[in-house]
Structure 1
Amino acid sequence: MGLLQKILIPVLGLVLAFCFYSSRENFKPEMLKGKRVIVTGASTGIGEQMAYHLARMGAHVLVTARTEAKLQQVVERCRALGASSARLVSGSMEDMATTRQLVEVAEAELGGLDMLILNHVGKSYFNYFDGDVGHVQKLLDINFLSYVAMTVSALPMLKRSGGSIVVVSSMAGKVGFPFTVPYSATKFALDGFFSSLRQEFSIQSVNVSITLCILGFIDTENAMRAAADVLLMSPAPKEECALEIIKGGTLRQREVYYRYASTKLPLLLRDWAAELLDLLVRQRYRPERLRAA
């Protein structure tokens, strides 16, 4: 009976999840027309692609990242793609002044905010943990605390609009993966903070949704450079990933899994056979191909 339960319960969970999501409102690009959206980490990768999708849908796009020259190119393309407007704020998310400036620009020039997409990430290494506590602290400042600061600053506007917070996270924030110890720590922190905050919003009847996006291996430049030679799996396209994130945030979904089979299904296994999942995870890597530290 115990084995039967272990098999039936995950299967039942999949069936219920399918029924739940298939019955939700269908996404339509026009839902984003005229919406005021901040996208952090938008100079490259998934953030850049989200900015372009939003522009095609006619949103007001406010992007931020460290590199102003690259951001300017993103803004120009957003305008060409049909954005209602496109603006930039350059700066490091380590500096809390950047978070304040973003919110001030949204308030002054857009008149408010409908969606906050938190996507930026600090640079880290893909290798065995080297014991550098200072690096962990710096990464927490960028990958976690700045997300908290941005949320706190933007929340008054989001409450007025009944808006959405979209948090780009990772499977490394749900399952312990090797070679990403500092990064994984920050993603687990995001899950804890925003899942708890969602509960408080519900208790207080705050009409602001929180969507946590659980991503697998995506073909961004940084991910490919760090892990392509080590991981025994094919990356998913960043363009499609970006669109799925926007859809989930717009439909106010609790969580987005991309790609679904490679992210959601392992979590069901985690709950019933954690050691087996650990083994399967380790078999996906070729540690002999790690670059020398």
Structure 2
Amino acid sequence: MKVFTKLLIVSVAVAFVAFIWSVPSFDPESLKGARVLVTGASTGIGEQMAYHLAGFGAQVVITARREKVLQQVVEKCQGLGAQKALYVAADMADPLDPERVVKFAVDQLGGLDYLVLNHIGPSPFAMWDGDMEHMRWLMQVNFLSYVQMAKTALPSLEQSKGSIVVVSSLLGKMCSPFVAPYSSTKFSLSGFFGTLQHELAMQRRNVSITICYLGLIDTDSAMEKVKGFTNIQAWPASEAALHIITSGSSKQAESYYPWFWYYSSLIKDWFPYFRDLGIRSFYNYEP
């Protein structure tokens, strides 16, 4: 038992050192004038990313469904110092809108340096009820539209040696109750964009991909959904947004917020029985 404990401590220590060494430094000046498209930017993490980017002096195009709210976010971005701030209203459930939004951003900005994929469709926080229509709809919004936008943006991003930043979730790394449709889309993102990272590198194409795995974030929509179901700590949306921006601009392949979830992801398959007991202990459910 003592030997095992020592091995565990050494493994965690080595992982920590490797993690710290693998994180490149962030240069705020690199975002000055950068041409950035942020999806899901009318509220929550996307809205906060737009404000941070504006403060760094970026050129920002934001998109979401609600035009009036987008107008308000753009006005605030202009006041925060954005070199340019524009919006385009779109519904990612419409198969034509993802391509339309990317082309709008490329045309208006004269190219693209960052594509930040952040939007999600609403999904109930509940046991799966077998609703296949919702599954199909959510896959279009949370996954297929991401692929469509990446495909459309790749030529411009390759010209600028740019980046795709994918906002994912720990629920795309570890399975938890009440989120079957949502978690399925996040696992899909990990599979597709993780594979695309390899393929772009093998083809020596100058486009980097960053996949950001987030814990529970204190957005209004998330807090309303999980109320009464879990005691997991929620983390600030503004800090999560800044983490995503710094991770993408420094071209990290993967990032975790909060950072300590990296270790949970690392050791999640070591003791599956205790892992699953631990996960279920965070949730409240009475049949």
Q: Could you tell me the TM-score, scaled by structure 1's length?
A: 0.93
Cα shift at 1:20: 2.5
Q: C-alpha separation between the residues in 2 aligned to 1:225 and 1:5?
A: 42
Counterpart contact for 1:269–1:277, Cα < 8 Å: no
Q: Structure 1 segments of 4 or more deviating over 6 A?
A: none
Structure 2 letter corresponding to 1:156 = P
Q: C-alpha separation between the residues in 2 aligned to 1:89 and 1:20?
A: 36
Cα shift at 1:70: 0.5
| 3-state secondary structure, aligned to 2:232 | coil
Counterpart contact for 2:210–2:248, Cα < 8 Å: yes
Match of 2:22 in 1: 20
Match of 1:31 in 2: 30
What do residues 94-141 of structure 1 show as CA deviations (whole Å, max 9, x unaligned)?
Answer: 113222222222222210000000000011000111111111111101
Q: C-alpha separation between the residues in 2 aligned to 1:75 and 1:97?
A: 24
Identity %: 48
Q: C-alpha separation between the residues in 2 aligned to 1:138 and 1:216?
A: 24
Match of 1:281 among 268, 276, 279: 279
2:111 is equivalent to residue 112 of structure 1: yes
What do residues 220-271 of structure 1 show as CA deviations (whole Å, max 9, x unaligned)?
Answer: 111000013222122100000000000000000011100011x212112213
Match of 2:49 in 1: 50
Counterpart contact for 1:172–1:184, Cα < 8 Å: yes
| Higher deviation after alignment, 5-14 or 157-166 | 5-14
| 3-state secondary structure, aligned to 2:149 | helix
Match of 2:139 in 1: 140
Match of 2:123 in 1: 124
Counterpart contact for 1:10–1:268, Cα < 8 Å: no
| 3-state secondary structure, aligned to 2:235 | coil
Match of 1:74 in 2: 73
Q: C-alpha separation between the residues in 2 aligned to 1:157 and 1:118?
A: 16
| Higher deviation after alignment, 156-165 or 12-21 | 12-21
Q: C-alpha separation between the residues in 1 aligned to 2:225 and 2:120?
A: 14
Cα shift at 1:18: 1.9
Match of 1:151 in 2: 150
Match of 2:203 in 1: 204
Q: C-alpha separation between the residues in 1 aligned to 2:124 and 2:160?
A: 39
Counterpart contact for 1:96–1:146, Cα < 8 Å: yes
Cα shift at 1:4: 5.3
Q: C-alpha separation between the residues in 2 aligned to 1:151 and 1:283?
A: 38
Counterpart contact for 1:89–1:101, Cα < 8 Å: no
Structure 1 letter corresponding to 2:284 = R
What do residues 160-182 of structure 1 show as CA deviations (whole Å, max 9, x unaligned)?
Answer: 00000000000000000100000
Q: Number of paired residues?
A: 285
Cα shift at 1:3: 6.5
| 3-state secondary structure, aligned to 2:63 | strand
Cα shift at 1:2: 6.3
| 3-state secondary structure, aligned to 2:26 | coil
Aligned pairs for 1:258-277 within 5 A: 258-261=257-260, 263-277=261-275
- Aligned-residue CA RMSD (Å): 1.5
Cα shift at 1:14: 2.1
| 3-state secondary structure, aligned to 1:121 | coil
Match of 1:244 in 2: 243
Structure 2 letter corresponding to 1:229 = G
Counterpart contact for 2:90–2:101, Cα < 8 Å: no
Match of 2:13 in 1: 11
| 3-state secondary structure, aligned to 1:287 | coil
Please list every run of 5 or more consecutive structure 2 residues that lacks an aligned counterpart in the other structure.
none
Cα shift at 1:146: 0.2
Counterpart contact for 2:36–2:58, Cα < 8 Å: yes
Cα shift at 1:278: 1.2
Q: C-alpha separation between the residues in 2 aligned to 1:67 and 1:284?
A: 34
Q: C-alpha separation between the residues in 2 aligned to 1:4 and 1:137?
A: 47
Match of 1:64 in 2: 63
